[in-house]
Amino acid sequence: MTGDPGALRELVRAELSAPASEAARELAAELQRRHDPATLAVLFYGSCLRKETAEGVLDFYVIVDSYRRAYASRWLAWINAALPPNVFFVEREAATGPLRCKYAVVSARDFRQAAAGRTLRTSIWARFCQPARAVYTRDPEALESVVDAAAQSVRTAVGTLLPLLPARDGQLDFDGERFWQRALRETYAAEMRPERLETVRAVYASAPERFDRAAELALEQLARDGALAMTRHDDRCRVSWSPEQHRRARLTWRLRRPAAKLVYALQLLKSATTFGDWVPYVLWKLERHTGTRLVASPRQRRHPFIYGWPLLFRALWRREFR
């Protein structure tokens, strides 16, 4: 198999090292301070990165070397280790107006494990197979660790989800748009995220050449490791598996997806204890992704676990959560 084995790492290193917006840098500095001296890296990803905007809520991951060193609270350190990541919300005033972000805290070890697909949740490899920025890294070693995990995330996404596409006699011609749209739909569904089809299409359309190139480089690595076979015909990739490889890959995802949903549901319950005033955020997110507007009363915001169930049932009844 030809190809540069380091090409995928170089692609994601260039993305991670690219400059971030001023808003992202301001928020990243705040997040770094919150969890120093444990902070190894602050990574910016998601829709605000794609759209190059500070409106809405920016998304970050904070990578730490130790949960215990990252918190003054032993309880927060314990629940982060038991069910990573912990998720928080931050709002601060800036010269241009309020800045808001949602961020997750995860250890470097858990980040690597998740990127390699060794955990039930899909969230880390599903996010970091997409472009991201390393707004802060402690040192060159921290940057290389993040680069390794991001490259592995692309490989995990391709190796896990490509077999879900229809194949004839164990073969298919790789189509980047078809693959990435299916991959995004599958990972959103595994996290019970109410993303519309237009949103899925927009993610791929934001950088189609990048997504196609990243997937092809991941295919080359998987072929070198014997996970599949790959040939090129007229600048197109043809991928094939043995019947056993193909069957096993499809069965693994079929079993993994409901387990991922269960873990994600537990994660949502846990996040309610760390996030802060999360009810308005959830309702805003629901409206942004589905067009459905639900308004919480003051009592529902103060006591969501007691009085918030009618909102949840209304959303479920309307089939907004899939």
**Residue 164 covered by a domain:** yes
Distance CA 202, CA 197 (A): 9
Regarding whether 205 and 90 lie in a shared domain, the answer is: yes
Contact of 191 with 322, CB cutoff 8 Å: no
The total domain count for the chain is 2
pLDDT tens for the 322 residues of the chain, in order: 455 669 999 999 999 999 999 999 999 999 999 999 999 999 999 999 999 999 888 999 999 999 999 999 999 999 999 999 999 988 888 888 889 899 999 999 999 999 999 998 899 999 999 999 999 999 999 999 999 999 999 999 999 999 999 888 888 999 999 999 999 999 988 886 656 778 889 999 999 999 999 999 999 999 999 989 999 877 788 999 888 888 888 999 988 888 888 888 888 777 767 765 556 566 666 666 556 666 666 665 555 555 455 665 565 555 443 3
Instruction: Give the residue from 233, 251, 271 where a domain finishes.
Output: 271
Within this chain, do residues 11 and 107 fall inside the same structural domain, yes or no?
yes
Do 257 and 108 lie in one domain? The reply is yes
Could you tell me if residue 220 is inside a domain? yes
Whether residue 84 is found in the same domain as residue 159: yes
Give the C-alpha separation, 16 to 155, whole Å: 17
Q: Which long-range contacts (CB under 8 A, 24 or more apart) does 224-231 make?
A: 224/1, 224/3, 224/5, 227/159, 228/159, 228/162, 230/1
CATH code for position 186: 3.30.460.10
pTM confidence score: 0.85
Helix (H) or strand (E) holding 28: helix 22-35
Together in a domain, 106 and 152: yes
Q: Which pLDDT belongs to residue 91?
A: 83
- Is residue 251 located within the same domain as residue 286? no
User: Looking at the structure, do residues 253 and 236 belong to the same domain, yes or no?
Assistant: yes
- Domain assignment present for residue 2? The answer is no
Q: Checking DSSP bridges between strand 58-64 and strand 97-107, what pairing results, if any?
A: parallel
**Residues ≥6 apart with Cβ < 8 Å to 217:** 3, 7, 8, 11, 154
Residue 146: what pLDDT? 98
Q: Which residues on adjacent β-strands are paired with residue 133?
A: 44
Query: Closest by alpha carbon to 30, among 94, 79, 106, 110?
Result: 94
Mark which of 240, 255, 271 sits at the end of a domain: 271
**Are 252 and 287 within one domain?**
no
User: Does residue 322 belong to any structural domain of this protein?
Assistant: no
What is the C-alpha separation between 103 and 249, in angstroms, rounded?
A: 32
The H-assigned helical ranges of 52-191 are 67-70, 74-82, 108-115, 123-128, 140-161, 176-190
The verdict on 83 and 55 lying in the same domain is yes
Whether the bond into 258 is cis, omega within 30 of 0: no
Token pair for residue 56?
């809405």
Asked whether residue 217 falls in the same domain as residue 177, the answer is yes
Structural domain span for residue 169: 7-271
What gap in Å lies between CA 267 and CA 80, rounded to an integer?
Answer: 10
Query: What per-residue confidence (pLDDT) applies to 305?
Result: 52
Same domain, 56 and 197: yes
Are the C-beta atoms of residues 165 and 153 closer than 8 Å to each other? no
Give the pLDDT score at 69. 97
13 lies in the same domain as 147: yes
d(CA 234, CA 137): 41
Amino acid at 77: A
Inside any domain, residue 1 = no
